[in-house]
Amino acid sequence: MIPPLGCLLAAAALAGCGQAGVVAPAHETKVPTGTTQAATGTTAATASAGPTNAAGAPGVAKEVADPLESSSDPAPASVHHKPAATPARASEEFVAAGAPSNAEVRAELAQMHAAERATLRTQQKSLTPVPGGESVGGNGTVPIPSDVPEVVQKVIAGANEIADFPYVYGGGHASFVDDAYDCSGSVSYALAAGGLVSRPEVSGELESWGVPGPGRYITVYASAGHTYMYVDGMLYDTAGRSGVYASRWQVEPTDNEGYVVRHWPGL
């Protein structure tokens, strides 16, 4: 089993687990979402270490205005979705058998590092659209592949958990457990399911998540106002959905120009 905080830091010789390389930039501020539920079972250390809002409450997040909010089908105040499970619970719902072991992943790292950047474009996949829409149909989820590391399976499981939740600016900031998620709340929730963040991070913070450049399995694109990611070549983005309850899994790759590109070491 791959450890929950992603001991896949093999690109740094598997020097240890944790949030090495995750830096919160000073230009971000923090505020609550309004429909957030109780705290989730993520690491307590980060909850108290985050910035505070005007009232002094720790760990509440805000980002600058999302320039793609209008294309994210923001939900009206009358729309209410059931709260999500915690990311850890979502990641346990379905993890396919046969995931590579730590030793197998370490053995592959030396071979894959040079090919990661060159093959990123060919890994970006197209999905089946809803008629007349821009995101996947059915229940909004995508199959979890069995031939990727377990941590990647867990990120996909987490992304599936909230794939059809409404978009609300600030959703998922104060807690991973919420009933609507904006762009950074969505990406943070999915990464948390794989143990790759331990508190919600705003898009500006995700500009410093992990290490620079695209990854083999997970690549996060972030700017001060918007963020999205590719997981096993599939685009996960709030912008471009076909309705309030449409999926965050997008049919086609998007234009990545103008974004900081980040990945987790070894992934």
**End-to-end distance of the chain based on CA atoms, in angstroms?**
15
The encoded tokens of residue 204 equal 């500006």
Which pLDDT belongs to residue 112? 57
Which domains can be identified in the chain, with CATH numbers? 61-267 (3.90.1720.10)
Does an H or E element contain 261, and which?
Answer: strand 260-263
Which pLDDT belongs to residue 53? 34
> CA-to-CA distance for 71 and 55, rounded, in angstroms?
32
Angle, CA 93 vertex, CA 220 and CA 40 arms, to 5°: 70
pLDDT in tens, the chain (267 residues): 444 444 443 433 333 333 333 333 333 333 344 443 333 333 333 333 333 333 334 444 556 788 877 778 787 777 777 788 788 777 666 555 566 666 666 666 655 544 544 444 445 777 877 777 788 988 899 999 999 999 999 999 999 999 999 999 999 999 999 999 999 999 999 999 999 999 999 999 999 999 999 999 999 999 999 999 999 999 999 999 888 999 999 988 999 999 999 999 999
The encoded tokens of residue 70 equal 């209008």
Which pLDDT belongs to residue 126? 78
Which pLDDT belongs to residue 33? 42
* CA dihedral sign of residues 218, 221, 226, 228: negative
**Which residues lie closer than 8 Å to 17 by C-beta, 6 or more apart?**
3, 5, 6, 7, 9
